[in-house]
Amino acid sequence: MVKNDNKRYMVNAQRLCLRELYTAATRVEGKNTNILRQIRTELAPDIPVTVVFIRHRSKKNEWLAILSTDLSLTAQEIIRIYRMRWDIEVFFKCAKSLLRLQKEFQSRSYDLLVSHTTIVFTRYVLLAWQHRQSTDQRSIGGLFYLLCDEVGTLDWAVALQQLLDLINEIATKAGKKITNLIQRQLQPSYIRAYLAISICES
């Protein structure tokens, strides 16, 4: 993110401030209306950069500038990478300000520093997990895959035997005629006639 300070950018041998650079930049056409303009310029001394101007989220009439030294990236890629880096900045801000990463312990021991940093990061992980559990509306897709794995490991012959046992249990609770009919149809010779299986005997 570029601040609107005294920094100057070279465009056609002219030294421009950030607001003048916004005026000189070309508009970005496309579906994403939040990307306003983009320009390739130079920082002193002779450092080529790409500056992307995006719409301010809370102040629609203002813009923000993002600078990248990787000239091969598109405006969308620059914004995507900056969004990931911003999440990291928020993490460090929370760790320092709220979880007291710098102020809770003062020591020159390397082991203590590593231990304290691990404790602080563990706190953050637990808080982030709790926040996701209470606010994330996504479906529990992992449960679907677990059930698929369980079904995949279930043997076909075992599944058929369980089905036969279930039908037998239901037949014992039915009337005498229906019970006899079901039991005749559950005989191995009857099932073999309708299913292409070699072994049905229990």
Radius of gyration (C-alpha) of the chain in whole angstroms: 34
User: pTM of this prediction?
Assistant: 0.50
The neighbour count for residue 197, using CB atoms within 10 Å, is 12
The answer to whether residues 199 and 186 touch, using CB atoms and an 8 Å cutoff, is no
Per residue in 17-76, pLDDT tens? 888 888 888 888 777 778 888 899 988 778 899 999 998 888 878 899 999 999 998 888
**7 sits in which H/E element:** none
DSSP code of residue 10: E
Q: What pLDDT shows up at residue 150?
A: 62
Give the model confidence (pLDDT) of 65-119 as tens digits. Answer: 999 999 998 888 998 888 888 888 888 888 888 888 878 777 788 888 888 888 8
Backbone angles phi, psi at 104, to 5 degrees: -70, -40
Structural contact between residues 178 and 193, judged by C-beta atoms closer than 8 angstroms: no
Report yes or no: 167 and 186 within 8 Å, Cβ to Cβ: yes
pLDDT at 53: 92
pLDDT at 196 over 80: no
Asked if residues 105 and 117 have their Cβ atoms less than 8 Å apart, the reply is no
pLDDT for 163: 77
What residues are paired with 11 via a beta bridge?
Answer: 14
For residues 36 and 26, give the distance between their C-alpha atoms in angstroms, rounded to a whole number: 9
Report the range of poorest mean pLDDT among 76-80, 183-187, 194-198: 194-198
What is the spatial distance between Cα 119 and Cα 124, in angstroms, rounded to a whole number? 9
Assign 50 to helix, strand or coil. Answer: strand
Using DSSP's 3-state secondary structure scheme, residue 17 falls into coil
Q: Which residue has the higher pLDDT, 175 or 9?
A: 9
Indicate if the pLDDT at residue 197 is higher than 60: no
Tell me the per-residue pLDDT of 127-171, one tens digit each, with 9 for 90 and over. Answer: 888 888 787 766 666 666 666 666 666 666 777 777 778 777 777
- Regarding predicted confidence, which is higher, 177 or 153? 177
At residue 187 the predicted structure's pLDDT band, cuts being 50, 70 and 90, is low
